[in-house]
């Protein structure tokens, strides 16, 4: 009986942590997979693996970093078996219809440019600039050094600026 209660408490705690972070995790899965069906599959596998190790998580403040790390590893493991990794991003699922049409066009233009970045650059940009992770957190999630994150971020911004036609005086230095 105690085991059932403990398991139920763990499930409830996990569900609450997920509920607070579900939008960020969904966006990340969608950005990485670039289509809704694959994002759902990535999210499902991520949550399954996250729950299995959840009891070992020392702080719920680390939950988002924990699930992003799992999602990243699951994603990169899965693309070894998929040949359709370079397909176009599914923009329709991320558009906020309450935005002004000009803003929506700008966002779509930026996302199309981001799709042309190398996967490592795109993920670094998403984690650091869109999701707001620090370089250290991004390095843990991507399992690389902070210096690698720093250089990838610089290169991603530089390449993105070139893709969207930013003038030299505004480019990343």
Residues 121, 83: Cα–Cα separation, whole Å:
19
Predicted local distance difference test score (pLDDT) of residue 105: 78
Least confident of 4-13, 27-36, 53-62: 4-13
The pLDDT assigned to 97 comes to 61
Could you tell me if 50 and 115 lie in one domain?
Answer: no
Mean pLDDT of all residues in 23-30: 93
Domain count, the chain: 2
Q: Measured over all CA atoms, what is the biggest interatomic distance in the chain, rounded to whole angstroms?
A: 67
Residue 109 has pLDDT above 90, yes or no: no
* Nearest to 68, CA basis, from 136, 138, 145: 138
Q: How many CB atoms lie within 10 A of CB 152?
A: 25
76 shares its domain with 114: no
Instruction: Confirm if 30 and 39 have CB atoms less than 8 A apart.
Output: yes
- Looking at residue 3, its pLDDT comes to 66
User: How confident is the model over 139-169, as pLDDT tens digits?
Assistant: 988 889 999 999 999 999 999 999 888 766 5
Please give the DSSP secondary-structure letter assigned to residue 135.
H
Asked whether residue 4 falls in the same domain as residue 47, the answer is yes
> In CATH, what number is assigned to the domain containing residue 56?
1.10.1740
Q: What's the chain's Rg over C-alpha atoms?
A: 18
Q: Which of 52, 86, 120 is the last residue of a domain?
A: 86
Which domain covers residue 11, as residue numbers?
Answer: 1-86
pLDDT at position 85 is: 40
Higher pLDDT, 2 or 157: 157
Whether residues 121 and 80 share a domain: the answer is no
| Predicted pLDDT at 82 | 53
pLDDT digits (tens, 9 = 90+) for 48-104: 999 999 999 888 889 999 999 999 989 888 765 454 444 444 445 555 566 677 767
**What integer pLDDT is reported at residue 16 of this predicted model?**
95
CA distance 4 to 59: 22
């Amino acid at each position: 009986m105690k085991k059932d209660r403990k398991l139920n408490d763990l499930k409830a705690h996990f569900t609450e942590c997920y509920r607070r972070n579900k939008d960020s995790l969904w966006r990340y899965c969608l950005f990485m997979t670039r289509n809704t069906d694959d994002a759902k599959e990535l999210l499902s596998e991520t949550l399954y693996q996250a729950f299995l190790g959840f009891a070992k998580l020392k702080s719920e403040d680390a939950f988002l970093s924990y699930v992003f790390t799992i999602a990243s590893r699951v994603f990169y493991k899965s693309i070894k078996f998929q040949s359709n990794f370079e397909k176009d991003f599914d923009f329709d699922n991320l558009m906020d219809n309450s935005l002004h049409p000009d803003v929506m066009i700008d966002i779509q233009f930026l996302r199309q440019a981001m799709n042309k970045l190398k996967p490592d650059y795109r993920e670094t940009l998403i984690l650091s600039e869109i999701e707001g992770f620090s370089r250290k957190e991004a390095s843990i999630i991507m399992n690389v050094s902070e210096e690698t994150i720093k250089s990838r971020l610089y290169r991603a911004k530089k390449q993105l600026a070139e893709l969207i036609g930013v003038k030299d005086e505004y480019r990343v230095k």
